[in-house]
Structure 1
């Protein structure tokens, strides 16, 4: 575990960087930029890292993505990543606290860098990865190759409403869009023509098809497992002969996403067939569920007081994973490297993705809570750098879970195969 000397260095560095960290967070908060438009936040974070001695690659993979590195010597290993998010929500700004996530990413990197600079006992490389577009854009999925050479990663996400999670497990999620087309104008609803034998032939509009599909999906929602989620929105298009369905679908496990999507397709295609409409669809890449790494989170919990309820179970030898209602593209990262995304509570009343949470994410009290957890994560990262057995334990846990989930996925594939 991190020595008292290392802890003193961490405290000293955080105090030295406190002003620039605060300014950076507030500037991002005051200038909210939605997914893929985070140009000012990108430039600001890159400038701060360059001034702090990091070698920065701007516009890394994505226009508003970046990577910053610092090594104690050459290309030293292990390579530990600290992740920044910085996109805001439309209209309500930083109601998910990504300004604080970015600040903590910088803070952790600076604290660990200070220890590596001062100590001749450990070596390694610190990598700060800036991942834009978490709010619906799947930035980490698009930048997943940035984690190919990373040995472990850390990110800290604020929570509200009195909730916190040391081992939070997010939901899988994706979006599905279906478009129905007909040669009948929606405003005419049903056009009836008569052939020579005076048989009526009903020609139905794309809106009719969408309504039928909505009914099918409503029935699916009533019969599907409780671990699945389905939301449907019907939207008109510029052409009165086209109607769009936008569907968000979620599940507790990634292996369920394909079966759920296939049921959605069947519902929509059946509706198109019975209304004689054309149908086409597309879907986004999936945000996968987060796999908590208990090896790492248990150490973080020992180093801070924000997760005492979880730590009581850890000390009893129990592993509890808190099922969260939201989704995060960090889940995709957690399934390929030992990765931590912990969720400290920064307010007892306000909840994320609400306007009152936006006001909370600029407060000094919220920052104080987040930085306390950042110190715990920095100490855990130093343990990874100084103790190969600890790092291997984190990897062993991940490999075991990969094998378990892969086996479950193969069983589902076998069941779905004709």
Structure 2
């Protein structure tokens, strides 16, 4: 009998190596688009500065009342109320999601969407700075002048970034179907400015594997049992062996969630949960196939039955930032006196995941980060970072980020050549892709 393996990653992994080598060699992009008129950028800065007290109050209020994903009832209403105060017609409970919202200015022409996040982390509140993200997006939306070319600007409130995949659910509901470009700014540590959060993000897909065997008396008649825990352990150890032969940016991590009920009973049911990460959509698909093959083999080798729940939460795709558009944000934030060490392609090293990655494979997108100050080494997803978000330096960063994000949106709406370059870059990178496509 000859056993063949269904997945040979050679071609995909070889292409990944070639692309990575090209990425390292890329030069800093030029910043020669005309963009919006200087007077427009001056008006944006003046408008955000005028909004500073309200934006600080918003960020502070969200920090004081953290709500986890899909439970952001108060947070979404607080942001929508601020927009209403300034005359925006806010659609609440948008896209079939109770804590999503949308507001749009303009009715025709190119369309730029500003993305707000506002969910908190369980137990440690706004330790990822989503209170700042929401205020940045709100400030940018309110600051983009109405008379910018013939375009539209929207703010989309996306719930549950921390694992719930709100942006992917909005994508599935058609929320980005008429959007031409999108952007948000993520807070980071220290005073760093980066066009791409952490040098890039990984895509992630989640799965649970539940094995069903047959119970037996572990001392009297173990031979009558089929051990589901053996299947989980076999799968876990086989995945550990696989780690030696995956890409250096790939990650697989998991836990055993059910190992049986009693040591003297052959476990008839056992489960594990795994997260699978890679920095490219094709390599992520390959890695998932390899892991699924291992899980199926563990069932075969133990005589158990596998129930596989792949993507029990929406997958997150690796971020694909648009360089031409990111340079406009960089130019705007540099006008605020901040230095941006921008490269056209930053080689990724693996890292966290965000559902903004899904948006970036559907429309040209930016996801730069801006440091909030604070003590060195205080990183997101740490309780100390939540406190950093309500310090004076964080509020200065909020204002600068909102001005720059509004500036990038204004440049996109005003400059036909920029829009063409943004679209061309998006198409050259592979165009629109969805999970599993």
Query: Do they superpose with TM above 0.5?
Result: yes
Give the aligned CA root-mean-square deviation in angstroms. 2.4
Structure 2 counterpart of 1:147, from 176, 181, 191: 176
Where in structure 2 are the equivalents of 1:16-415 lying within 5 Å?
16-61=50-95, 62-71=97-106, 75-112=107-144, 115-116=145-146, 119=147, 122-144=149-171, 145-160=174-189, 163-167=192-196, 168-184=199-215, 192=221, 201=223, 203-236=225-258, 241-284=268-311, 285-305=314-334, 308-311=339-342, 313=343, 319-321=345-347, 323=349, 325-347=351-373, 348-402=376-430
Whole-Å separation in 1 of the counterparts to 2:225 and 2:355: 43
For the residue of structure 2 that corresponds to 1:310, the secondary structure is coil
Give, in angstroms, the shift of residue 340 of structure 1.
Answer: 0.8
2:225 aligned counterpart, secondary structure = strand
Give the number of equivalent residue pairs: 386
Cα deviation, residue 152, structure 1 = 1.3
SS, match of residue 139 in structure 2: helix
Q: Which whole-Å CA distance do the structure 2 matches of 1:354 and 1:9 have between them?
A: 37
Distance in 1 between residues matched to 2:65 and 2:260, nearest whole Å: 33
Partner SS for 2:341: helix
List runs of 5+ in structure 1 lacking aligned partners.
194-200, 411-418
Q: How much has 1:354 moved relative to structure 2?
A: 1.0
Deviation at 1:208, TM superposition (A): 1.9
User: What stretches of structure 2 of length at least 5 have no aligned partner?
Assistant: 1-34, 262-266
* SS of match in other structure, 1:63: coil
2: distance between equivalents of 1:309 and 1:126? 25
| TM-score normalised by the chain length of structure 1 | 0.86
In structure 1, C-alpha distance between the alignment counterparts of 2:281 and 2:338, rounded to whole Å: 27
SS at 1:146 equivalent: coil
Alpha-carbon distance in 2 for matches of 1:147, 1:403:
15
TM-score by length of 2: 0.82
Q: Structure 1 residues 210 and 24 mapped into 2: Cα distance closer, same or farther (>3 Å)?
A: same
**CA offset at residue 294 of structure 1?**
0.8
Quote the offset at 1:170 in angstroms: 1.1
> Does the 8 Å CA contact 1:206/1:277 hold for their aligned counterparts?
yes
C-alpha distance in 1, partners of 2:401/2:142? 14
Q: CA deviation at 1:281?
A: 0.8
Report the CA distance shift for 1:307/1:395 in structure 2 as closer, same or farther (over 3 A). farther
- State how far apart, in whole Å, the 1-side matches of 2:395 and 2:195 are: 18
